[in-house]
Amino acid sequence: MLLCLIVSLIDRLAFAATSLESKDNNYFLSIRMPNVTPQRVDELICTAAKLDPRESYIVRFTPHASKASAHHMMLYGCRSPASFSPSWICNQNQTPSGPSHDAVCLEDTKHIVFAWALDAPEKALPEGVGLRVSGDTGINYLVVQLHYAKAFPPGVTDNSGYTLEMTNSRPPQQVGYLVLGNWGVIPPQKYEFYLDSFCEFPLNDTVYPIAYRTHSHNLGVVTSGYRIRAGLWVEIGRNSPQLPQAFYKVSNPGMNIRPGDVLASRCVMNSVSRDKDTIIGPRNHDEMCNFYIMYTTYQQRNLEDIMCFQKSNSDTSRDVFPPDSGSLDGIPGADKVKKKFRTAASLG
């Protein structure tokens, strides 16, 4: 009886994803929330879909969500999801004693597949590039984790999610992620508080950044990322996390990152609207400082996410960064960001 129940749940999970063959041998996979009703502010809900076991590559990500109801929507890869229910609360991934009942993945590793926030558009990867899943990657399931902005009234449901364009044909290059960020505390009443991170590139290969994404919550004014080689700083990207948090093209197309390079990121935070410390944490009233680098590589081994997180600082490395590292100049939509923080200052 128990075995039959488990098989039934797995079958139901597999049907959460709908794939349609297309004439160019690519196919589409849709992973959507099964008409969920979030019960509280900042609730994180997950749903999962089982993948074709053959090695596959994602070549396009199309989000279906709105900033009116969602703070952000992550797409993770798991060997096995934390639950085989159609949806579940997934506020964390691990506890010191092992997987928790509200985890994303059953194991201790969840792979970044994509991230969306603030009505960002779809992302198509360049020709000849794909993000590898299935096969021997350890990514047998994809999990959508949606951070809801508010509780829904009774009877109101949500079916946000992603549609993915995929192929079983191996492209010449695959996609990997490198994320710089911070943990710690942001003090109140600061017009400019810097969160800086430095990381020596840990791979023995040359990789090619093709896109970047900035992520903060309400206090992030601008985030920038750089490659440092022989003392020379080259901008990877710079944008405001108050604008659509898409994966934007890098500032210097064709650039590479190779062994010996150092990567750096800076988030400029404006906390004049707060009268207490703000912690780095998952809730919307908390903060985050993340700079995502989407890169490509000709290497055909399985890739692991590279994470470089450091404790927050104040102004200790202020003079090390380029003068425009905290500037909104040249960023489309910067006037909206400046207006937001002028309003925050007047309220603070």
Spatial contact of 75 and 111, defined as CB atoms under 8 Å apart: no
Active-site residue, selected from the candidate residues 147, 174, 242, 245: 147
**What is the sign, positive or negative, of the torsion defined by CA atoms of 137, 175, 86, 217?**
positive
Spatial contact of 167 and 57, defined as CB atoms under 8 Å apart: yes
101 is catalytic: no
Active-site residue, selected from the candidate residues 111, 174, 215, 245: 215
1 is catalytic: no
**Residues annotated as binding site for Cu(2+)?**
71-72, 147, 215, 217, 288
Spatial contact of 265 and 227, defined as CB atoms under 8 Å apart: no
71 is catalytic: yes
285 is catalytic: no
**Residues annotated as binding site?**
71-72, 147, 215, 217, 288
64 is catalytic: no
Three-state helix/strand/coil letters over the chain: CHHHHHHHHHHHHHCCEEEEECCCCCEEEEEECCCECCCCCCCEEEEEEECCCCCEEEEEEEEECCCCCEEEEEEEEECCECCCCCCEECCCCEECCEECCCCCECCCCCEEEEEEECCCCCEECCCCEEEEECCCCCCCEEEEEEEECCCCCCCCCECCEEEEEEECCCCCEEEEEEEEEEECEECCCCCCEEEEEEEECCCCCCEEEEEEEEECCCCEEEEEEEEEECCEEEEEEEECCCCCCCCEECCCCCCCECCCCEEEEEEEECCCCCCCCEEECCCCCCECCEEEEEEEECCCCCCCCEEEEEECCCCCCCCCCCCCCCCCCCCCCHHHHHHHHHHHHHHC
Active-site residue, selected from the candidate residues 72, 74, 245, 269: 72
Closest among 326, 323, 304, 292 to 213, alpha carbons compared: 292
- Compute the distance between CA of residue 289 and CA of residue 175 in angstroms, rounded to an integer: 22
Catalytic residue ranges: 71-72, 145, 147, 215, 217, 288
